[in-house]
Chains A and B, each alone.
Chain A
């Protein structure tokens, strides 16, 4: 009896926490962001080019950060840096200094 009660209380608290913290991430394209680092949480952008030394660019491209790939900004560490980016079903955290070198296509090209 008491065990069921505890479990139910626990489930209730968990659900409540989830309600509080789980904001909907409807995919919004952005009209203004010039690089990945300017995307806000939930916003999409399409990569145009990687403004990084070749070996770093290749590493990121292997993970899916390719020109033409659509990337969504997800959650971040407190303070917004590093941020998790969702690309092709996987999630990778990048520091702002790296994300700012991933240049996005202008919004009209994306459409």
Chain B
């Protein structure tokens, strides 16, 4: 849900099967929130999303497991589902993969069916259609620690006999009982197909009776209700305290992102400056040194500085998701969503769009109603994604004085930041209203939200997320932003006259900037911002790198740093206009591409881009005129 710019490569990329000993292809299936992704991570070590939240995994992810016998097994992690009836798109995907109908995905040789052992009565329901497929299946009962901790029991051998398939009791978070899973993956030849009598799959009451007969026969004792979950819910869903805590959590997250990240950012900045100086000192005064220091170091460095902040944001999102609080937040906020005319399920993608719009746009596949789905896709990019953070931070830090509003708890910069997040959300709400009352009218589908028990997020899972995030961010800094920085530096040094680079204003870059300047002058932007707006069509944070490069080449700006240079060069009206422009504009190629893919035509992304740019321009214009 939270993976951003890696978008393209993070999903549905199955490693090509290499030649050699035959690989067993094993699918992992299970109901939402049964711990599939945790098991997948545990087995593959691949960076894959884990969240204590139903409906997160949408595309199938895959990864290799090294087995003791020296062979490999290819694991495919499938979307969570309650049944095999293909009602929504993610259920369709799972259905197709298991039947071998999905192009590009090999038909599985076996299935790991992962069920929550604390919820066996309900989860066993899925066993019927899965066993009916006739594939060798290992029933994995997860959360064994939770089951025994709450006084529940199950007789694994008896259950195995009842189901005619092997059963393993494990704890994926703690790594208990993984031996049986590895043995199953390794014993490709010894696996046999289950042979038992199954209920009529479409008759749910009958399946249900079958499931309870099986679990009774296996001596299953359901565990006591999760004590801490009940107690915590009494606080978090308290009529008065609940919403208060909700607001408190939101404010605390932003305040911390702003305050706690500052020393870390100074650290990274110092490191970048120091390394730049070291490299600069090693090189003779040449074109190459100018390119490296002014182009690359200033440009890429200006963006890399924001790594601590983005990681902090993802740490918070990770904790909220994995702990199970996000489901409670969705519940508290549902009424607001209903008023806008969106169904509750839209809330989950929209919440996660705070990290990045791309994964939630893909996860809208869980929404059965096509019109609701497109409406959610259309508004997702208005939610303040993490790529806006560098832009916001830079401008806010340059223009908003750091004065306390509520003592030490809330300062003006954090308040401005929250304001921008609210602004994006409000525009999403208005857009949703417009769409739902015109082109995308539809009947409402029911809101069903599972409340998972609270769990302590594991360090392992949080660390995996952050490492993944840092990689994606740095990879982009090393490719797109590096490329733009070099291109800009070259454009800024052409045309060469008498063997000397022209003054900045006369360079090709300056000419391009000046060409667009008339269009953006009403917004209070100068030509340098104009160049930034063009380059940030690729991705929002590129503008920070671009400005870093441009100001890095100005003799007097070089010494004062990017923040001061911008403060001197922009009016307050222009700065606010820039913030509002970035709050609304769709400056992100990845989002355009993914909307094209998910809606199946250029119609929606084109309309979305035009609409968002128009709103951004209008908003920035009004802001600049008012504050003038």
A residues at B contact (CB < 8 Å): 17-18, 21-23, 52, 55-56, 58-64, 66-67, 74-79, 81-82, 84, 88-95, 97-98
Q: Check B331–A77 contact: CB distance below 8 A.
A: yes
- 12 interchain pairs, CB-CB under 8 A: A17-B241, A18-B235, A59-B82, A60-B448, A61-B205, A62-B82, A67-B205, A77-B331, A82-B335, A93-B447, A95-B338, A97-B444
Q: Check B231–A22 contact: CB distance below 8 A.
A: yes
Given contacts A63-B122, A77-B334, A82-B335, 5 further A-B contacts (CB under 8 A): A21-B234, A77-B331, A77-B335, A89-B122, A93-B447
Q: Check B121–A89 contact: CB distance below 8 A.
A: yes
Cβ of B450 < 8 Å from any Cβ of A? yes
Separation of A58 and B225 alpha carbons in the complex (Å): 26
Cβ of B423 < 8 Å from any Cβ of A? no
Separation of A52 and B445 alpha carbons in the complex (Å): 11
CB proximity of A9 to chain B, nearest CB, Å: 17
B residues at A contact (CB < 8 Å): 82-83, 85, 87, 118-119, 121-122, 125, 204-205, 208, 222-223, 225, 230-231, 233-235, 237-243, 331-332, 334-335, 338, 344, 368, 444-451
Separation of A18 and B334 alpha carbons in the complex (Å): 25
Residues of A within 8 A of B448 (CB): 59-60, 63, 92-94, 98
Instruction: Output the residue of A22, A74, A82 with the most chain B CB within 10 A.
Output: A82
Partner of A90, one of B119, B237, B445: B119
Interface majority SS (helix, strand, loop, mixed), chain A = mixed
Residues of A within 8 A of B125 (CB): 62
Instruction: Output the residue of A66, A79, A91 with the most chain B CB within 10 A.
Output: A91
Q: Check B243–A78 contact: CB distance below 8 A.
A: yes
Asked whether A91 and B451 contact (CB < 8 A) given A22-B231, A78-B243, the answer is yes
Partner of B449, one of A62, A76, A93, A97: A93
Separation of A78 and B242 alpha carbons in the complex (Å): 8
Separation of A55 and B448 alpha carbons in the complex (Å): 13
Closest to B449 in A: A93
Q: Check A78–B334 contact: CB distance below 8 A.
A: no
Residues of B within 8 A of A52 (CB): 446
CB proximity of A62 to chain B, nearest CB, Å: 5
CB proximity of A104 to chain B, nearest CB, Å: 17
Closest to A14 in B: B235
Nearest 8 Cβ contacts at the A-B interface: A91-B451, A75-B237, A98-B446, A93-B449, A21-B234, A61-B204, A22-B234, A62-B82
Q: Check A66–B87 contact: CB distance below 8 A.
A: no
Partner of A84, one of B235, B237, B335, B446: B237
